[in-house]
Amino acid sequence: MSRMGFWRKKKRIFLDYASTTPVLLEVKRAMGPYFSEHFGNPATLYQEGIDAKKAVEQARKKIARILGSRSEEIIFTGSGTESANLALWGVINSYQGKKAPHIVTTTIEHPAVREVAKAIKAVGGNVTLIHPNENGLVTASSIREALREETILVSVMYANNEIGTVNPIREIGKVIREYKEEKGTSLYFHTDASQAPNYLPLNVSSLGVDLMTLDASKVYGPKGVGMLYARRGTRLLPIMYGGGQEYGLRSGTENVAGIVGMAVSLEMATRDREKEAKYLSFLRDYAIEKILKQFPKASLNGSCAERLPNNINICIPGMNAEFAVYLLDALGISVAYASSCRTLAEGASSYVIEALSKKECAVSSLRITMGRGTRKNDIDVLLKALPSIVLRAR
């Protein structure tokens, strides 16, 4: 397992891998030829286009093998956010029932799902939001209770991007499948699995999902490329119109280099998953233990057991988390206090942590997420800095 397969600045400590990851050198090398050498448009009929199309289809087949799916069930998009939008709007727009469509999702989803749910409600759809339990987990029973005749879609994230909790997707998929069989209804199950590939299995049949969102930038691949798995037979309408690429569901010239890079990054994540999880679990548990000893009133947000190996989300009462992030940045340490997709617009409050009934912690929690480049010494530097940072940020 390569731990230095990417460029890394020596003087800074990056501990926000949930927001993005560096591109592995192996991925960068695989992408290289498709910028200038094999630059053809996959939609053209001459040799350059044929070569580009072949690269896209080979990448599609690689990803399909990883997911245990058919290659034609893989739809490339421009990001994980676009993938989630295509999943939700694609199902909603294809709905032909007489009653208003109903979707079930949760209060701790990524903004890519959360904001779409709000928009669907604004145009007349019905939305049920499920709260997690005190450990930050969405239970299968809570999903089952929310289902009704006009429910056409359930969307539950696989692993939370803020608190790192891993939802019981297989159990949720099972209760949805049983409900469909009992009622004879058409109902799809979507999961945003963007945080999952480095640490969790992705076999779509085992998980029982109809739609799955992935984002290359979370798995040591390039930014600007994502994908949606859509099980054969799932009714979707496009949300972008044009040349009809990606089986008519995502128009626009394919990002060939990015698609190639995403396939390689997912292959490497699958190959290294077990070792990476073991290594980062050790660092995670070490850091949590030390922080809780440093700050006796601090608490861990989310389940300790059902948690991503790289995620530490700690509430330190009285601390201004946003200010603490700035102070740590000045020392060359990058951490977060909420989803990076939320901090740009909405300030320091975390709706995910609020959903755990820990309102004070929503403004006083730090998210520390590790990755392939993280060393124990990095954690020790953070631990040494925290007492003075917290004192200044109160």
Active site residues per annotation: 341
Coil vs helix vs strand at 35: helix
Nearest to 253 by CA among 21, 53, 24, 59: 53
Helix 47-67 vs helix 256-294: crossing angle, to nearest 10: 40
Classify residue 129 by burial, with Cβ atoms within 10 Å: 0-12, 13-18, 19+: middle
CA angle 136, 142, 145 (to 5 degrees): 165
Rounded CA separation 323/321 (Å): 5
Task: Determine contact, residues 254/246, Cβ cutoff 8 Å.
Answer: yes
Tokens encoding 363:
């403004």
What are the start-end ranges of the H helices in the chain?
25-31, 33-36, 47-67, 80-94, 111-122, 140-146, 169-183, 204-207, 256-294, 321-330, 340-346, 351-354, 376-392
Is 143 in contact with 176 (CB distance < 8 Å)?
Answer: yes
Q: Which residues does 262 contact at the CB level (< 8 Å), separation at least 6?
A: 59, 63, 76, 214, 216, 219, 221, 222, 225, 226, 227
**Is the separation of the CB atoms in 62 and 265 below 8 Å?**
no
- In the structure encoding, which two tokens stand for residue 243, read together? 């040349």
Contact 150, 101 (CB under 8 A): yes
Place of tokens 């939001």: 129
